[in-house]
Amino acid sequence: MHQLLILAAALVATTAYAGMYDQPYALVERGAASETRKEATLAITKVDGVGTRNSRKTDPIPPGKHRITLHVESARGEFRPEFQDIELDLEACTRYRVVASYELKTGPDWKPRVYAEPIGECRKKFPTQQAPAK
């Protein structure tokens, strides 16, 4: 009986998660660090005021304007502001990679830099609702 309850809970969770991909979506992920480009990784802590399940990437987000809360923390130095909100107008079937751009790798100042790229499997599934990535 206990195993049946666990299986039922897993099935419900899987079905709910799969439903997020039933319509065009966007993803926001943290980008890779690059000393050459003076970019550091960051955490994605909230989308529209709601905490994320994973600080490295969001669950699928419907296209449109959203407020993304970012957090930068480094062993190299203190970065300010520690948290920052950015407003993104997310396009369907687009992945946004966000990094912290800095002048000095020890801080204190940083600003978000956003890179956009198409999500191939989404564009294939929803060909009429795609928009070009910026």
Q: What is the pLDDT of residue 3?
A: 55
pLDDT in tens, 80-96: 888 999 999 999 999 99
Round to whole Å and give the CA distance between 41 and 48.
21
The values of phi and psi at residue 11, to 5°, are: -65, -45
Domain regions of the chain by residue span: 24-129
Spell out the residues 6+ positions from residue 29 whose beta carbon is closer than 8 angstroms to its own: 44, 56, 57, 58, 95, 96, 97, 98
**What pLDDT shows up at residue 82?**
87
CA distances from 35 to 38, 83, 105, 127 (A): 5, 21, 8, 37
When the pLDDT of each residue in the chain is averaged and rounded to a whole number, the result is 84
Are the CB atoms for 45 and 71 separated by under 8 Å? yes
- State the average pLDDT over residues 50-76: 92
- Model-level pTM? 0.79
Confidence of residue 5 (pLDDT cuts 50, 70, 90): very low
